Structure formats: C-alpha cells, structure tokens
Amino acid sequence: NGEFEYPVNIGSTINTELQEFDPFLAADLQTLYFTRGVNEKESKIFVSRRLDDTWKKWSEPIALPNPINLGMTKNAGAFVTADGKTLYFIRGLRGRGVDQRNSDIFVSHLGENGKWSAAERLPNTINTPYAEESVCIHPDGKTLYFASRGHIGLGGYDLYMTRLQDDGSWSNPI
C-alpha cells in the first residue's frame, strides 16, 4: 500500500551475540552481504541467501573465503555490482583516535570458476593515508561513491564520486 511495514528482526541465523553491521542486499533481493565482528582485531564479510518471502529465514551465513577475508584483518562494507560479479569492500587497520584510522577500498572479481580473485587496493587517487569508508557502486558498474577523511573537503568524512574510465583507470574523485 506504499507504506513501510513495522520492522521485524531478520532472525538469529544472521543476528548473533557478535556484532553484525554494514548489511547490503544484492540486486537479486536474495543475497545478503554483511560484516560480522569476530573479535576486536578481526571482522569478516559474510553472505547468506534468503529462503522464503517473509525475510525471516536465511541460510547459514558463510564467511567469504580468502582472498576476501584474510586472517586478523578488519573487512567491512561489502557492496556488489548489479551483475554480482564485482565486489567492493573496505579493508583496513584501525588504530586509536580518529586520525589513526586507515581503511582503504578494495575490489575483487568473481571468476568463471565461482571464486573471487585476489583483492586489489584501488589506486592512490581514491585511497588516501586516512580512512575511506562506505563504498557504493552505481548500477552502471562504473560510478563509485565513497566517504573519505583524506580528500580535501569540508572536514571529517565527506562524500566523493569517481568513475571507471574506458582504459581501466579511475577519474579524480569529486
């Protein structure tokens, strides 16, 4: 009827005693990516499939394998292209204090064998010595939005956009 329904808990398959955050529902409306904090030094990206139309039944979440989730790293904020073949995510160490945070945007591609490629850090035109977070790729697969503390802006986190060029490079973020 065009109105939001009362929210319901997605269920104990996803929500545990650990911390779950950064949910992303893929374009197929069946695949949920989210981050689960494993301990203070490690978080992993998980994937689960919707099992019914109530949005309450999900498959047992599976941590994405190496090379996405490396041991003792913080991975978060998965965002998958509309075709499901490219995964952008945040990886980085987080120190004490806001200015010591250093998280970068990485990309991995799903091969024909069903395995993700080695994660590649996006270039320094996008990633800075400070934190990049909240990555989002437009359905066109070429326009990337993200938050950064390292690009010149209004201060703190600002939002930026960059485009993948025909030659494979990225435009300067604006």
pLDDT the model gives residue 35:
92
Q: 112-161 pLDDT, tens per residue?
A: 999 999 999 999 999 998 889 899 999 999 999 999 987 877 777 899 99
Mean per-residue pLDDT of the chain: 88
Low-confidence residues in the chain, pLDDT < 70? 72, 93-101
Q: What is the pLDDT of residue 83?
A: 93
CA–CA separation, 78 vs 30, rounded Å? 15
Tell me how far apart the alpha carbons of residues 34 and 41 are, in angstroms, rounded to a whole number: 17
What tokens appear for 31 in the block? 């695949």
Percent of the chain with pLDDT over 70: 94
Nearest to 144 by CA among 110, 106, 111, 109: 106
